[in-house]
């Protein structure tokens, strides 16, 4: 028995019909177009991942900076321990979320005084017909000192394509410059 093998049929029989269908008409062309478009769309989907991650890290850094600034009081300013308060609360606020978190700058501004007027109920005006006329204005003021803090942390892009839009694979993220007036003393004439 002489058996000749047909070398032309190297595709398994179960795949011949679907491949013939794809190669026969324009359906094969649409399959190739679909494969190209899906690959480009997948690449473009990685860009928002890094953009959202960068924005999220920056918001967390701003939140940690604001939290650290809220722990400064006048006593720590006069004792010179305000930097320790800021560093301790900054590390507590950013723990587990932010890498290499540190203070970039702390500026202690000049002392100032703010004047304001407050209203006090007066028993001498108790007989006034309109209730709002029973109050009198009194001047007051308070002293404060301004402190400004700016912090930094490190981050890393997940995808090389996203790194093109965020300035590289390694990020140094800087917070907004945040200021706070720290109450120093009450009314002085």
Average pLDDT across the chain, whole number: 83
What number is the average pLDDT over the span 133-155?
90
pLDDT in tens, 9-37: 576 777 777 767 666 656 567 778 888 88
Distant-in-sequence, close-in-space partners of 69: CB < 8 Å, separation ≥ 6: 86, 147, 149, 178, 180
pLDDT in tens, 71-101: 888 888 888 898 998 999 888 888 888 889 9
Question: Which comes out higher in pLDDT, residue 16 or 154?
Answer: 154
| Percentage of the chain lying above the pLDDT 90 cut | 21
Asked if pLDDT for residue 121 goes beyond 70, the answer is yes
Residue 159: pLDDT band by 50, 70, 90 thresholds?
Answer: confident
Instruction: Please say whether the beta carbons of 179 and 110 come within 8 A.
Output: no
Distant-in-sequence, close-in-space partners of 18: CB < 8 Å, separation ≥ 6: none
Q: What is the DSSP letter of 176?
A: P
Give the span between the Cα atoms of 47 and 35, in whole angstroms: 20
């Amino acid at each position: 028995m002489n058996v000749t093998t047909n070398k032309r049929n190297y595709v398994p029989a179960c795949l011949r019909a679907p491949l013939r269908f794809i190669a026969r008409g324009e359906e094969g062309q649409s399959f190739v177009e679909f494969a190209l478009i899906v690959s480009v769309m997948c690449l473009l989907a990685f860009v928002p991942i890094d953009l959202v991650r960068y924005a999220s890290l920056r918001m967390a850094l701003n939140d940690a900076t604001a939290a650290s600034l809220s722990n400064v009081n006048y006593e720590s300013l006069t004792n010179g321990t305000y930097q320790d308060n800021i560093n301790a609360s900054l590390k507590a606020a950013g723990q587990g979320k932010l890498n290499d978190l540190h203070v970039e700058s702390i500026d202690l501004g000049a002392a100032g005084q703010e004047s304001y007027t407050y209203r006090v109920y007066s028993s001498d005006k108790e007989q006034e017909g309109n209730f709002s006329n029973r109050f009198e204005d009194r001047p007051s003021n308070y002293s404060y000192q301004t402190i400004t803090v700016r912090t930094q942390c490190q981050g890393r892009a997940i995808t090389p394509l996203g790194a093109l839009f965020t300035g590289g694979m390694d990020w140094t993220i800087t917070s907004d410059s945040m200021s706070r007036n720290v109450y120093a003393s009450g009314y002085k004439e």
